[in-house]
Structure 1
């Protein structure tokens, strides 16, 4: 089997608010938008993030599969690197984003030389997002 990672899809309750958040606050570029179907694909650098109104999810997985959501879900986190974490946090706060935690430094552990500084916040639908500034 030869797999190639295609994208991460967020199944959201509020399609419009999330689409605008990822475009206007995080600055991702829309590659495709179909507001009638409540689906959008956004350029996230090495991959894409897609947004789908989760009310439409049954069309993809069938009517018998149970689906549950929790507003504090942390089973997945979207992690982005930023050049300057302080500037990124100021930008987020200027858009009303509430940070979950204060920035903290993760020491060098062999995986990332110099370590990194990180902090987390949530999108309008409660999905966990992490920003990292790589230290070198």
Structure 2
């Protein structure tokens, strides 16, 4: 049996704000959208993320399922590589996004990193590879 990973779906409370954030702030392309069911597929390179309005989950997973939610949940983090972390942070801040932490350096792993949250509270990490490690 082979399982092939296809995409990550975020079940969000604020569908419109998250759709705008991923498409306009992060620049993902909208590959498919169904605003009636409040579902959108977004792509960047080979990566696909889908957003689904959490209010529709009971229809999707059944009435017996319950969903607990904490805006500071960190069980899942989306990670994105950027060419320049400072520029990425400046872009986010110009769009009203606040960092969760100050950038930190992982020289033994070859990157610097910083985290923020999308409009729904999902944790997102940005990583910039360190050239010394790559060339090294």
Q: Deviations over 1:61-112 (max 9, x none)?
A: 1100121110100000000000000000000000000011111101224xxx
Match of 1:43 in 2: 43
More helix by share: 2
Q: CA deviation at 1:58?
A: 1.1
Match of 1:93 in 2: 93
- Whole-angstrom distance in 2 between the partners of 1:59 and 1:83: 41
TM-score using structure 2 length: 0.93
TM-align CA RMSD: 0.9
Q: How many residues align?
A: 131
Match of 2:59 in 1: 59
Q: CA deviation at 1:47?
A: 2.3
TM-score using structure 1 length: 0.93
Gaps of 5+ in 2: 132-136
SS in 2 for 1:20: helix
Correspondence for 2:119 among 119, 124, 131? 124
SS in 2 for 1:27: coil
Gaps of 5+ in 1: 110-114
Runs ≥4 in structure 1, deviation > 4 angstroms? none
Q: CA deviation at 1:44?
A: 2.9
